[in-house]
A and B are shown apart, each in its own frame.
Chain A
Amino acid sequence: GDSVTQMEGPVTLSEEAFLTINCTYTATGYPSLFWYVQYPGEGLQLLLKATKADDKGSNKGFEATYRKETTSFHLEKGSVQVSDSAVYFCALSGVSGTYKYIFGTGTRLKVLA
C-alpha cells in the first residue's frame, strides 16, 4: 500500500550545520508531497510542498525536491538554527483515489547552540 518512510531520529546538530532528513515514498499514481513541522505541544504547520515531479518546495531556508525517479522528497537546510528544533513529518496525499494524508513517523531534530 501507499506509505512514507522517514529516517529515524533523533538528529542532533550544532547550530549552522547542514541538515538533511531523508524521506521516500511508495504510492500508486502521482501524489503531492509535503513537509510539516511540529513544535513541542503544538499542532502541525506546513513547511513546504511539491505537487509534481521535479518541483522544488522551499520555505524559511528549507527546501525539498520531488524526485519521481527515486521516489524521494528529502528535506534540506544549509544552516540550521536552535529555533529549528522540532519534529519534522513527511507526508503524501492524493493517491489511491482518496485525499487522505499519509504521514511518515516523524524525525526529531535537536539543534545545539
Chain B
Amino acid sequence: GAVVSQHPSRVICKSGTSVKIECRSLDFQATTMFWYRQFPKKSLMLMATSNEGSKATYEQGVEKDKFLINHASLTLSTLTVTSAHPEDSSFYICSASEYPGYEQYFGPGTRLTVT
C-alpha cells in the first residue's frame, strides 16, 4: 500500500515552454502533498506544501508564479514549471500524506531537462 506515482518520469523541453508534472496517490487519499527539488548530489529541497482544495504554501525563495502547484483532488497534485529555463533542470520529487503530520510517501521522481 501507500504508493505514489509521478508522470512523466523524464521530460525534455525547450527553453521558454511550460511543462506539467503529475503526482498521484494510488491507494490512499492524500490531503497534503509536497514538492521537492533535488540538485545533483545534493539533498532534497522542499519547494511547497499543498493541501487539497487550497492554495499551496511555498518555501522562501521559491517563485510561486514560476512553479504553479495545483492540488485539485485527494489523489492528484500537479506542478507546472512555467517558461522553463536550463537552470530549472533538476529532479523533482513529490510526496503525499493522508493527513498533515502523517508519514510522507514519496514518488519515484521526474527528471526535467530544459534545453
A-B contact count (CB 8 A): 46
Instruction: Give the CA-CA distance A106 to B41 in the complex, in Å.
Output: 8
A109 nearest CB across to chain B (Å): 14
Instruction: Give the CA-CA distance A48 to B46 in the complex, in Å.
Output: 21
Interface residue? A46 (CB, 8 A):
yes
The size class of the interface chain A forms with chain B is 10 to 19
Q: Which positions 39-66 of chain A face chain B at CB distance < 8 Å?
A: 41-46, 49
Interface residue? B25 (CB, 8 A):
no
Instruction: List B contacts of A108 (CB < 8 A).
Output: 41
Question: Per a CB cutoff under 8 Å, which of A45, A46, A89, A94 touches B43?
Answer: A89
Interface on B for A, CB 8 Å cutoff?
4, 6, 32, 34, 41-44, 46, 49, 93, 95, 97, 100-101, 103-109, 111
